[in-house]
Amino acid sequence: MEIKGIITPILTPMYEDESINYDELKNQINRLIDAGVHGLFFFGTNGESYILSREEKKKVLEVGIETVNRRVPVYAGSGCVGTRETIEMSCLAADIGADVLSIISPWFAAISQAELLEHYKTVAKKVSTPIVLYNIPGRTGVNMEPSTVAKLADIDNIVGAKDSSGNFLNMLQYIELTKEKDFSILSGNDSLILWCLLAGGAGGIAGCSNVYPKNIVGIYENFVAGDMDKAKECQYKIQDLRAVFKHGNPNTIIKKATQLLGYPVGDCRAPFNGLVEQGVAELKAVLDHYKAIGME
């Protein structure tokens, strides 16, 4: 299985009481697959992995895999703070049927590159499922250095890395240091998807594809088809939505935007559910503009 294309870090729909809305989860899965996404990633930042219990994750993944029904690859976020817990969650996700594991760097306590290396090596020995590294230093407090990624790329079942650093040079070094290996680099920053592809990357894990999946898929599909003008058009169109991120937590805004489009996905779990009035007003204006131009 190739790690490539536009993979949606699918949000986790919830009712007002913050319980999970599994019917709407199924609806979103079908909506995204129908729009042409190349994979679904459960328990990313947009899926609120940081606030779901182990049992909730188990059921979400079971429902998700059953609903996907092998139409696209299923990625499961299984990274935890500790190595032992990460192994347990990775084995659980693999047993349920995830095609790929996405493992975020441990967070909160300071960690060295040597410790990161040992952490991932230890986890990789315990599972045979392909692993995609997840670098998001803004949330974990540590950047996975390109040299560390290059070393981990030599492990058979570590097959790719998602870079959400927002630092294009960091992502470019990931690509350069692994280009001779069977290893895929994915942009975790939606603004850099096309530039990742141009540099030799494989695509993106794109939060904005929860809102406008066809447009985000268009970045990749037009690039592959050689139509750079259309690929650039799709890439630039999402900037207005991303500009609203200055008003709050990005995944809170993504979920609110999806809700405002008419899908009953609910709010993010408290306390990560606030959006100032100015932010809501700007978001509505952006969505109205997109509606006027027929964006999907």
Q: In this predicted model, what pLDDT tens digit does every residue of 72-108 receive, in sequence order?
A: 999 999 999 999 999 999 999 999 999 999 999 999 9
Q: In this predicted model, what pLDDT tens digit does every residue of 210-245 receive, in sequence order?
A: 999 999 999 999 999 999 999 999 999 999 999 999
Cα–Cα distance between 238 and 261 in angstroms, integer?
Answer: 15
What are the tokens at 203?
A: 């695509």
- In the set 75, 120, 134, 263, the catalytic residue is 134
The residue ranges of DSSP E strands in 116-258, in sequence order, are 131-135, 158-163, 184-187, 203-205
Residue by residue, DSSP assigns 76-99 as EE---SSHHHHHHHHHHHHHHT-S
Q: In this predicted model, what pLDDT tens digit does every residue of 249-272 receive, in sequence order?
A: 999 999 999 999 999 999 999 999
**pLDDT for 116 beyond 90:** yes
Confidence of residue 278 (pLDDT cuts 50, 70, 90): very high
Active-site annotation holds for 50: no
The helix/strand/coil state of 75 is strand
Confidence of residue 53 (pLDDT cuts 50, 70, 90): very high
Name the nearest CA neighbour of 210 among 63, 16, 62, 25: 25
Q: In this predicted model, what pLDDT tens digit does every residue of 134-178 receive, in sequence order?
A: 999 999 999 999 999 999 999 999 999 999 999 999 999 999 999
The helix/strand/coil state of 290 is helix
Q: Which domains does the chain have, with CATH numbers?
A: 5-230 (3.20.20.70)
Numbers of helices and strands, H then E, in the chain: 13, 8
Confidence of residue 1 (pLDDT cuts 50, 70, 90): confident
- In the set 4, 57, 120, 162, the catalytic residue is 162
The upper half-sphere exposure of residue 204, i.e. CA atoms within 13 Å in the direction of its Cβ, equals: 31
Active-site annotation holds for 134: yes
Cα–Cα distance between 244 and 251 in angstroms, integer?
Answer: 11
Cα–Cα distance between 222 and 195 in angstroms, integer?
Answer: 13
Cα Rg of the chain (Å, integer): 18
